[in-house]
Amino acid sequence: MNLETPRKFRAFVEQSYQVAANFFRPISRKYDLAEHTYPVELDMLASLMEGMNEAGGTEVGAGQLRRESGGESGVRNGSNMATVLGLTELCWGDVGLALTIPRQGLGNSAISAVATDDQRKRFAGKWASMAITEPEAGSDSAAIRTTARQDGDHWVLNGQKIYVTAGERCDAVVVWATLDPKLGRAAIKSFVVEKGTPGMTVVGLEKKLGIRASDTATIAFEECRIPRDNILGSPEIDTEKSFAGVMQTFDNTRPVVAAMAIGVARASLDLTRELLAKEGVEARYESAAFNQSAAGAELLRMEAELEAARRLTLRAAWMADNGKPNSMEASMARAKAGRVANAITLRCVELCGSAGYAERELLEKWARDSKILDIFEGTQQIQLLVVSRRLLGKSSSELR
Protein backbone atom coordinates (compact mmCIF):
# COMPACT_ATOMS: atom_id res chain seq x y z
CA MET A 1 0.00 0.00 0.00
CA ASN A 2 1.08 3.56 -0.71
CA LEU A 3 0.34 5.25 2.62
CA GLU A 4 0.46 8.82 1.33
CA THR A 5 -2.71 10.72 0.46
CA PRO A 6 -3.11 10.61 -3.35
CA ARG A 7 -1.86 13.88 -4.83
CA LYS A 8 -5.17 14.70 -6.52
CA PHE A 9 -6.99 14.56 -3.15
CA ARG A 10 -4.57 16.60 -1.06
CA ALA A 11 -6.21 19.97 -1.67
CA PHE A 12 -9.64 18.49 -0.92
CA VAL A 13 -8.41 16.86 2.30
CA GLU A 14 -6.92 20.17 3.41
CA GLN A 15 -10.22 21.93 2.62
CA SER A 16 -12.10 19.32 4.67
CA TYR A 17 -9.75 19.90 7.59
CA GLN A 18 -10.30 23.66 7.38
CA VAL A 19 -14.08 23.13 7.40
CA ALA A 20 -13.74 20.89 10.46
CA ALA A 21 -11.47 23.29 12.34
CA ASN A 22 -13.08 26.61 11.45
CA PHE A 23 -16.69 25.69 10.68
CA PHE A 24 -17.66 22.58 12.66
CA ARG A 25 -15.68 23.01 15.87
CA PRO A 26 -17.03 26.51 16.69
CA ILE A 27 -20.67 25.31 16.51
CA SER A 28 -20.13 21.77 17.80
CA ARG A 29 -21.25 22.38 21.38
CA LYS A 30 -24.10 24.64 20.27
CA TYR A 31 -25.88 21.87 18.38
CA ASP A 32 -24.97 19.21 20.91
CA LEU A 33 -26.97 21.20 23.46
CA ALA A 34 -29.74 22.21 21.02
CA GLU A 35 -30.79 18.72 19.93
CA HIS A 36 -33.26 18.58 16.98
CA THR A 37 -32.36 22.14 15.94
CA TYR A 38 -31.33 22.15 12.30
CA PRO A 39 -27.79 23.53 11.73
CA VAL A 40 -28.59 26.11 9.06
CA GLU A 41 -24.87 26.79 8.64
CA LEU A 42 -24.61 23.50 6.73
CA ASP A 43 -26.67 24.67 3.75
CA MET A 44 -23.75 26.64 2.37
CA LEU A 45 -21.35 23.70 2.90
CA ALA A 46 -23.65 21.35 0.97
CA SER A 47 -23.80 23.79 -1.93
CA LEU A 48 -20.01 24.03 -2.00
CA MET A 49 -19.66 20.23 -2.16
CA GLU A 50 -22.16 20.00 -5.00
CA GLY A 51 -20.40 22.79 -6.85
CA MET A 52 -17.13 20.88 -6.67
CA ASN A 53 -18.76 17.75 -8.12
CA GLU A 54 -20.58 19.61 -10.90
CA ALA A 55 -17.39 21.42 -11.86
CA GLY A 56 -15.71 18.09 -12.51
CA GLY A 57 -13.37 18.27 -9.54
CA THR A 58 -13.00 15.65 -6.83
CA GLU A 59 -16.18 13.56 -6.54
CA VAL A 60 -17.06 13.40 -2.85
CA GLY A 61 -19.96 12.58 -0.59
CA ALA A 62 -22.45 9.79 -0.04
CA GLY A 63 -24.20 10.54 -3.32
CA GLN A 64 -20.99 9.85 -5.26
CA LEU A 65 -20.21 6.41 -3.82
CA ARG A 66 -20.32 3.61 -6.37
CA ARG A 67 -18.48 0.43 -7.21
CA GLU A 68 -16.31 0.78 -10.27
CA SER A 69 -16.08 -1.99 -12.84
CA GLY A 70 -13.09 -4.28 -12.42
CA GLY A 71 -10.56 -5.46 -14.93
CA GLU A 72 -8.68 -2.21 -15.47
CA SER A 73 -4.92 -2.28 -15.11
CA GLY A 74 -3.17 0.05 -12.73
CA VAL A 75 -4.53 1.68 -9.59
CA ARG A 76 -7.60 3.87 -9.33
CA ASN A 77 -8.39 6.22 -6.46
CA GLY A 78 -11.95 7.42 -6.91
CA SER A 79 -15.06 8.59 -5.06
CA ASN A 80 -14.86 5.99 -2.28
CA MET A 81 -11.31 6.96 -1.33
CA ALA A 82 -12.08 10.67 -1.59
CA THR A 83 -15.15 10.36 0.63
CA VAL A 84 -13.28 8.31 3.24
CA LEU A 85 -10.41 10.81 3.39
CA GLY A 86 -12.75 13.80 3.48
CA LEU A 87 -15.07 12.41 6.15
CA THR A 88 -12.14 11.51 8.39
CA GLU A 89 -11.28 15.21 8.47
CA LEU A 90 -14.88 16.43 8.84
CA CYS A 91 -15.52 14.05 11.75
CA TRP A 92 -12.36 15.31 13.40
CA GLY A 93 -14.51 18.42 13.66
CA ASP A 94 -17.92 16.94 14.54
CA VAL A 95 -19.58 13.62 13.72
CA GLY A 96 -23.17 14.80 14.17
CA LEU A 97 -22.70 17.77 11.85
CA ALA A 98 -21.02 15.58 9.24
CA LEU A 99 -24.03 13.24 9.36
CA THR A 100 -26.50 16.03 8.68
CA ILE A 101 -24.93 17.72 5.65
CA PRO A 102 -27.84 18.10 3.19
CA ARG A 103 -28.00 15.64 0.30
CA GLN A 104 -25.26 13.46 1.80
CA GLY A 105 -27.44 10.80 3.50
CA LEU A 106 -26.95 7.04 3.48
CA GLY A 107 -29.93 6.80 1.14
CA ASN A 108 -27.91 8.77 -1.39
CA SER A 109 -25.28 6.03 -1.15
CA ALA A 110 -27.90 3.38 -1.93
CA ILE A 111 -29.17 5.31 -4.93
CA SER A 112 -25.65 5.83 -6.22
CA ALA A 113 -24.73 2.16 -5.69
CA VAL A 114 -27.68 0.34 -7.27
CA ALA A 115 -30.00 2.79 -9.05
CA THR A 116 -30.42 2.94 -12.82
CA ASP A 117 -29.19 5.97 -14.76
CA ASP A 118 -32.78 7.18 -15.07
CA GLN A 119 -33.32 6.90 -11.31
CA ARG A 120 -30.09 8.75 -10.57
CA LYS A 121 -31.32 11.61 -12.78
CA ARG A 122 -34.80 11.63 -11.20
CA PHE A 123 -33.49 11.70 -7.65
CA ALA A 124 -30.54 14.00 -8.31
CA GLY A 125 -30.39 16.84 -5.80
CA LYS A 126 -32.56 15.08 -3.23
CA TRP A 127 -31.42 14.38 0.30
CA ALA A 128 -32.13 10.69 0.91
CA SER A 129 -31.97 8.91 4.25
CA MET A 130 -31.95 5.14 4.79
CA ALA A 131 -34.71 3.26 6.64
CA ILE A 132 -33.77 -0.31 7.57
CA THR A 133 -34.19 -0.94 11.31
CA GLU A 134 -37.60 -1.85 12.75
CA PRO A 135 -38.87 -2.28 16.32
CA GLU A 136 -38.41 -6.06 16.00
CA ALA A 137 -35.74 -6.18 13.26
CA GLY A 138 -32.36 -4.68 14.07
CA SER A 139 -29.21 -6.54 13.12
CA ASP A 140 -31.18 -9.46 11.65
CA SER A 141 -32.32 -7.93 8.37
CA ALA A 142 -34.16 -11.14 7.47
CA ALA A 143 -36.66 -10.25 10.20
CA ILE A 144 -37.85 -7.12 8.35
CA ARG A 145 -41.64 -6.99 8.32
CA THR A 146 -42.33 -3.77 6.41
CA THR A 147 -44.09 -5.03 3.30
CA ALA A 148 -44.31 -3.88 -0.30
CA ARG A 149 -46.97 -5.21 -2.63
CA GLN A 150 -47.49 -4.32 -6.26
CA ASP A 151 -50.81 -2.75 -7.20
CA GLY A 152 -50.98 -1.80 -10.87
CA ASP A 153 -48.42 0.93 -11.54
CA HIS A 154 -47.63 1.39 -7.86
CA TRP A 155 -45.99 -0.27 -4.88
CA VAL A 156 -47.90 -0.09 -1.61
CA LEU A 157 -45.79 0.00 1.58
CA ASN A 158 -46.91 -0.83 5.13
CA GLY A 159 -44.78 -0.92 8.28
CA GLN A 160 -42.66 1.14 10.65
CA LYS A 161 -38.98 2.12 10.62
CA ILE A 162 -36.94 3.39 13.57
CA TYR A 163 -33.53 5.08 13.98
CA VAL A 164 -33.72 6.78 10.57
CA THR A 165 -30.79 9.21 10.42
CA ALA A 166 -31.92 12.58 8.98
CA GLY A 167 -35.40 11.08 8.75
CA GLU A 168 -37.17 14.37 9.45
CA ARG A 169 -34.90 16.66 7.43
CA CYS A 170 -34.45 14.59 4.28
CA ASP A 171 -36.32 14.87 0.96
CA ALA A 172 -36.72 11.12 0.45
CA VAL A 173 -36.22 7.84 2.28
CA VAL A 174 -34.77 4.60 0.89
CA VAL A 175 -36.93 1.97 2.59
CA TRP A 176 -36.07 -1.70 2.93
CA ALA A 177 -39.21 -3.80 2.62
CA THR A 178 -40.08 -7.41 1.85
CA LEU A 179 -42.13 -8.66 -1.07
CA ASP A 180 -42.81 -11.93 0.78
CA PRO A 181 -41.91 -12.38 4.49
CA LYS A 182 -41.85 -16.16 4.07
CA LEU A 183 -38.89 -15.96 1.68
CA GLY A 184 -36.57 -14.16 4.14
CA ARG A 185 -33.67 -12.07 2.82
CA ALA A 186 -34.25 -13.01 -0.81
CA ALA A 187 -37.48 -11.01 -0.93
CA ILE A 188 -36.06 -7.80 0.57
CA LYS A 189 -35.89 -4.84 -1.81
CA SER A 190 -35.23 -1.14 -1.41
CA PHE A 191 -37.69 1.56 -2.46
CA VAL A 192 -37.39 5.35 -2.74
CA VAL A 193 -40.24 7.14 -0.97
CA GLU A 194 -40.31 10.90 -1.38
CA LYS A 195 -41.34 13.16 1.49
CA GLY A 196 -44.95 14.27 1.29
CA THR A 197 -46.12 10.94 -0.15
CA PRO A 198 -49.54 10.15 1.40
CA GLY A 199 -49.27 7.36 3.94
CA MET A 200 -45.74 8.27 5.07
CA THR A 201 -45.54 9.95 8.49
CA VAL A 202 -42.67 11.00 10.76
CA VAL A 203 -44.09 9.97 14.13
CA GLY A 204 -41.24 10.89 16.47
CA LEU A 205 -37.62 11.95 17.05
CA GLU A 206 -35.17 10.20 19.37
CA LYS A 207 -33.26 11.88 22.18
CA LYS A 208 -29.78 10.41 22.01
CA LEU A 209 -26.52 9.85 23.85
CA GLY A 210 -24.46 11.43 21.07
CA ILE A 211 -24.50 12.84 17.51
CA ARG A 212 -27.23 15.19 18.70
CA ALA A 213 -26.76 17.58 15.78
CA SER A 214 -28.22 14.82 13.60
CA ASP A 215 -31.94 14.00 13.84
CA THR A 216 -32.99 10.35 14.27
CA ALA A 217 -36.60 9.65 13.36
CA THR A 218 -39.32 7.01 13.56
CA ILE A 219 -41.32 6.80 10.32
CA ALA A 220 -44.59 4.94 9.71
CA PHE A 221 -45.92 3.74 6.34
CA GLU A 222 -49.63 3.02 6.02
CA GLU A 223 -50.91 2.10 2.56
CA CYS A 224 -48.15 4.34 1.20
CA ARG A 225 -48.30 4.30 -2.61
CA ILE A 226 -45.19 5.02 -4.68
CA PRO A 227 -44.53 4.71 -8.45
CA ARG A 228 -43.58 1.26 -9.69
CA ASP A 229 -40.19 2.46 -10.95
CA ASN A 230 -39.19 3.72 -7.48
CA ILE A 231 -37.81 0.27 -6.67
CA LEU A 232 -34.00 0.14 -6.68
CA GLY A 233 -32.93 -2.91 -8.62
CA SER A 234 -35.03 -5.72 -10.04
CA PRO A 235 -38.48 -6.59 -8.62
CA GLU A 236 -37.78 -10.25 -9.34
CA ILE A 237 -37.09 -12.50 -6.35
CA ASP A 238 -33.91 -14.50 -6.85
CA THR A 239 -33.41 -16.84 -3.89
CA GLU A 240 -29.76 -17.29 -4.87
CA LYS A 241 -28.56 -13.69 -4.93
CA SER A 242 -31.47 -11.25 -4.66
CA PHE A 243 -30.29 -9.81 -1.34
CA ALA A 244 -26.80 -9.12 -2.69
CA GLY A 245 -27.88 -6.01 -4.57
CA VAL A 246 -29.41 -4.46 -1.47
CA MET A 247 -26.39 -5.36 0.66
CA GLN A 248 -23.94 -3.87 -1.85
CA THR A 249 -24.67 -0.48 -0.33
CA PHE A 250 -22.98 -1.59 2.90
CA ASP A 251 -19.78 -2.53 1.09
CA ASN A 252 -19.46 1.15 0.16
CA THR A 253 -20.79 2.75 3.35
CA ARG A 254 -19.10 0.65 6.03
CA PRO A 255 -15.65 2.07 5.17
CA VAL A 256 -17.26 5.52 5.38
CA VAL A 257 -18.50 4.83 8.92
CA ALA A 258 -15.03 3.51 9.77
CA ALA A 259 -13.57 6.78 8.51
CA MET A 260 -15.94 8.71 10.76
CA ALA A 261 -14.75 6.66 13.74
CA ILE A 262 -11.13 7.35 12.83
CA GLY A 263 -11.85 11.07 12.66
CA VAL A 264 -13.41 11.36 16.13
CA ALA A 265 -10.74 9.09 17.68
CA ARG A 266 -7.98 11.21 16.16
CA ALA A 267 -9.64 14.34 17.52
CA SER A 268 -9.60 12.86 21.03
CA LEU A 269 -5.96 11.80 20.73
CA ASP A 270 -4.87 15.19 19.42
CA LEU A 271 -6.53 17.10 22.25
CA THR A 272 -5.34 14.63 24.89
CA ARG A 273 -1.73 15.00 23.73
CA GLU A 274 -2.12 18.77 23.95
CA LEU A 275 -3.64 18.73 27.45
CA LEU A 276 -1.10 16.23 28.79
CA ALA A 277 1.80 18.16 27.27
CA LYS A 278 0.76 21.22 29.29
CA GLU A 279 1.30 19.07 32.39
CA GLY A 280 4.68 17.86 31.20
CA VAL A 281 3.52 14.43 30.03
CA GLU A 282 4.45 13.47 26.49
CA ALA A 283 4.98 10.30 24.46
CA ARG A 284 8.66 9.86 23.54
CA TYR A 285 8.84 8.13 20.18
CA GLU A 286 12.53 7.37 20.51
CA SER A 287 11.94 5.23 23.62
CA ALA A 288 10.23 1.89 24.15
CA ALA A 289 6.82 1.96 25.84
CA PHE A 290 8.16 0.39 29.06
CA ASN A 291 10.77 3.15 29.32
CA GLN A 292 8.38 6.07 29.75
CA SER A 293 5.38 7.21 31.76
CA ALA A 294 2.20 5.13 31.83
CA ALA A 295 0.29 7.93 30.08
CA GLY A 296 2.95 8.25 27.39
CA ALA A 297 2.94 4.50 26.78
CA GLU A 298 -0.85 4.57 26.54
CA LEU A 299 -0.72 7.30 23.90
CA LEU A 300 1.65 5.17 21.81
CA ARG A 301 -0.61 2.14 22.10
CA MET A 302 -3.70 4.10 21.06
CA GLU A 303 -1.88 5.64 18.09
CA ALA A 304 -0.89 2.17 16.88
CA GLU A 305 -4.48 0.89 17.16
CA LEU A 306 -5.81 3.91 15.30
CA GLU A 307 -3.27 3.53 12.51
CA ALA A 308 -4.23 -0.14 12.06
CA ALA A 309 -7.89 0.85 11.72
CA ARG A 310 -7.01 3.61 9.25
CA ARG A 311 -5.09 1.28 6.97
CA LEU A 312 -7.91 -1.29 6.95
CA THR A 313 -10.31 1.51 6.00
CA LEU A 314 -8.15 2.80 3.16
CA ARG A 315 -7.79 -0.74 1.83
CA ALA A 316 -11.57 -1.32 1.79
CA ALA A 317 -12.22 2.01 0.02
CA TRP A 318 -9.47 1.34 -2.54
CA MET A 319 -10.98 -2.07 -3.34
CA ALA A 320 -14.38 -0.47 -3.99
CA ASP A 321 -12.78 2.09 -6.30
CA ASN A 322 -11.05 -0.71 -8.21
CA GLY A 323 -14.06 -2.99 -8.64
CA LYS A 324 -12.82 -5.64 -6.22
CA PRO A 325 -15.17 -7.56 -3.89
CA ASN A 326 -14.65 -5.96 -0.48
CA SER A 327 -17.46 -7.21 1.75
CA MET A 328 -15.06 -8.84 4.20
CA GLU A 329 -12.60 -5.93 4.15
CA ALA A 330 -15.40 -3.38 4.62
CA SER A 331 -16.62 -5.26 7.70
CA MET A 332 -13.06 -5.63 9.02
CA ALA A 333 -12.53 -1.89 8.73
CA ARG A 334 -15.87 -1.05 10.31
CA ALA A 335 -15.36 -3.54 13.19
CA LYS A 336 -11.83 -2.39 13.97
CA ALA A 337 -12.46 1.34 13.66
CA GLY A 338 -15.70 1.29 15.65
CA ARG A 339 -14.15 -0.61 18.55
CA VAL A 340 -10.95 1.46 18.49
CA ALA A 341 -12.86 4.76 18.47
CA ASN A 342 -14.95 3.72 21.49
CA ALA A 343 -11.84 2.63 23.40
CA ILE A 344 -9.73 5.68 22.53
CA THR A 345 -12.35 8.34 23.25
CA LEU A 346 -13.21 6.81 26.64
CA ARG A 347 -9.55 6.34 27.56
CA CYS A 348 -8.80 9.95 26.64
CA VAL A 349 -11.54 11.07 29.04
CA GLU A 350 -9.87 9.02 31.77
CA LEU A 351 -6.36 10.29 31.05
CA CYS A 352 -7.47 13.93 31.19
CA GLY A 353 -9.42 13.60 34.45
CA SER A 354 -11.78 16.49 35.18
CA ALA A 355 -10.85 18.19 31.89
CA GLY A 356 -12.04 15.09 30.06
CA TYR A 357 -15.25 14.66 32.01
CA ALA A 358 -16.44 18.29 32.12
CA GLU A 359 -18.10 20.20 29.29
CA ARG A 360 -15.33 22.78 29.12
CA GLU A 361 -13.61 20.47 26.59
CA LEU A 362 -15.12 18.38 23.81
CA LEU A 363 -13.58 15.11 25.02
CA GLU A 364 -16.73 13.99 26.84
CA LYS A 365 -18.82 14.79 23.76
CA TRP A 366 -16.55 12.77 21.48
CA ALA A 367 -16.80 9.82 23.86
CA ARG A 368 -20.60 10.00 23.57
CA ASP A 369 -20.51 10.51 19.79
CA SER A 370 -18.22 7.55 19.19
CA LYS A 371 -20.61 4.93 20.56
CA ILE A 372 -22.95 5.03 17.58
CA LEU A 373 -20.03 4.36 15.23
CA ASP A 374 -19.81 0.83 16.65
CA ILE A 375 -23.55 0.27 16.27
CA PHE A 376 -25.02 1.60 13.04
CA GLU A 377 -24.31 0.08 9.62
CA GLY A 378 -24.24 -3.23 11.55
CA THR A 379 -23.11 -3.77 15.13
CA GLN A 380 -19.64 -4.98 16.10
CA GLN A 381 -21.01 -8.52 16.45
CA ILE A 382 -22.58 -8.46 12.98
CA GLN A 383 -19.32 -7.28 11.42
CA LEU A 384 -17.44 -10.16 13.04
CA LEU A 385 -20.08 -12.58 11.75
CA VAL A 386 -19.65 -11.25 8.20
CA VAL A 387 -15.87 -11.61 8.43
CA SER A 388 -16.17 -15.14 9.85
CA ARG A 389 -18.53 -16.24 7.09
CA ARG A 390 -16.21 -14.90 4.40
CA LEU A 391 -13.11 -16.48 5.94
CA LEU A 392 -14.77 -19.86 6.48
CA GLY A 393 -16.88 -19.87 3.32
CA LYS A 394 -20.08 -20.40 5.32
CA SER A 395 -23.56 -19.10 4.56
CA SER A 396 -25.65 -17.17 7.07
CA SER A 397 -27.72 -20.28 7.79
CA GLU A 398 -24.57 -22.31 8.43
CA LEU A 399 -22.87 -19.73 10.69
CA ARG A 400 -25.23 -17.67 12.81
pLDDT digits (tens, 9 = 90+) for 143-175: 899 999 999 999 999 999 999 999 999 999 999
334-348 per-residue burial string, b: 16 or more CB within 10 A, e: under 16 = bbbbbbbbbbbbbbb
The DSSP-derived string for 218-277 is: EEEEEEEEEEGGGEES-SS--TTTHHHHHHHHHHHHHHHHHHHHHHHHHHHHHHHHHHHH
Give residue 336's pLDDT.
98
Find the mean pLDDT for residues 192-199: 98
Domain 7-118 has CATH 3.30.460: no
Give residue 68's pLDDT.
60
Give 400 or 161, the one with higher predicted confidence: 161
Active-site residue, selected from the candidate residues 222, 286, 377, 398: 377
What residue type is 96 in one-letter code?
A: G
To the nearest 10°, report the CA torsion of 308, 263, 176, 323: -50
Give residue 315's pLDDT.
95
Pick the CATH number of 242-392 from 1.10.3720.10, 1.20.140.10, 3.40.50.920, 3.40.190.10: 1.20.140.10
Give residue 250's pLDDT.
86
Banded pLDDT at 185 (limits 50, 70, 90)? confident
Banded pLDDT at 59 (limits 50, 70, 90)? low
Pick the CATH number of 127-232 from 3.40.50.450, 3.30.70.270, 1.25.40.10, 2.40.110.10: 2.40.110.10
Give residue 395's pLDDT.
85
Active site residue 361: no
Give residue 167's pLDDT.
96
Q: Where are the alpha helices (DSSP H) in 94-190?
A: 95-99, 106-114, 117-122
Give residue 242's pLDDT.
53
Give residue 140's pLDDT.
79
Give 183 or 200, the one with higher predicted confidence: 200
55 pLDDT higher than 60: no
Question: Is 78:321 a contact under the CB 8 Å cutoff?
Answer: yes
What residue type is 339 in one-letter code?
A: R
141 pLDDT higher than 90: no
Banded pLDDT at 257 (limits 50, 70, 90)? very high
Of the given ranges (140-144, 164-168, 243-247, 391-395), which has the lowest mean pLDDT? Answer: 243-247
Give residue 61's pLDDT.
60
Question: Hey, what long-range contacts does 233-238 have (CB within 8 A, 24 or more apart)?
Answer: 233/114, 233/189, 233/190, 235/150, 235/179, 235/189, 237/179, 237/180, 237/183, 237/186, 237/187, 238/186
End-to-end CA distance of the chain, in Å?
33
Of the given ranges (2-16, 47-61, 291-305), which has the lowest mean pLDDT? Answer: 47-61
pLDDT in tens, 29-44: 999 999 999 999 999 8
Give residue 58's pLDDT.
54
If one counts every other C-beta atom within 10 angstroms of the C-beta of residue 295, the result is 17
Return the SS3 of 10.
Answer: helix
Of the given ranges (121-135, 183-197, 233-247), which has the lowest mean pLDDT? Answer: 233-247
What is the spatial distance between Cα 180 and Cα 370, in angstroms, rounded to a whole number? Answer: 36
- How many residues are listed for the chain in this entry? 400
Backbone angles phi, psi at 188, to 5 degrees: -85, 130
What is the spatial distance between Cα 345 and Cα 381, in angstroms, rounded to a whole number? Answer: 20
Find the mean pLDDT for residues 327-335: 97
Find the mean pLDDT for residues 363-383: 95
Q: Where are the alpha helices (DSSP H) in the chain?
A: 10-19, 25-33, 42-54, 79-93, 95-99, 106-114, 117-122, 242-278, 294-321, 327-351, 354-357, 363-371, 380-392
Domain extents in the chain: 7-118, 127-232, 242-392
Give residue 143's pLDDT.
86
Angle between helices 10-19 and 79-93 (to 10 degrees): 30
354 pLDDT higher than 60: yes
Banded pLDDT at 289 (limits 50, 70, 90)? confident
Q: Tell me the pLDDT of the chain averaged across its residues.
A: 90
Find the mean pLDDT for residues 360-376: 97
Give residue 363's pLDDT.
98
What is the spatial distance between Cα 121 and Cα 163, in angstroms, rounded to a whole number? Answer: 28
Nearest Cα residue to 164 out of 122, 216, 204, 106: 216
Give residue 381's pLDDT.
94
Banded pLDDT at 295 (limits 50, 70, 90)? very high
pTM: 0.92
53 pLDDT higher than 70: no
60 pLDDT higher than 60: no
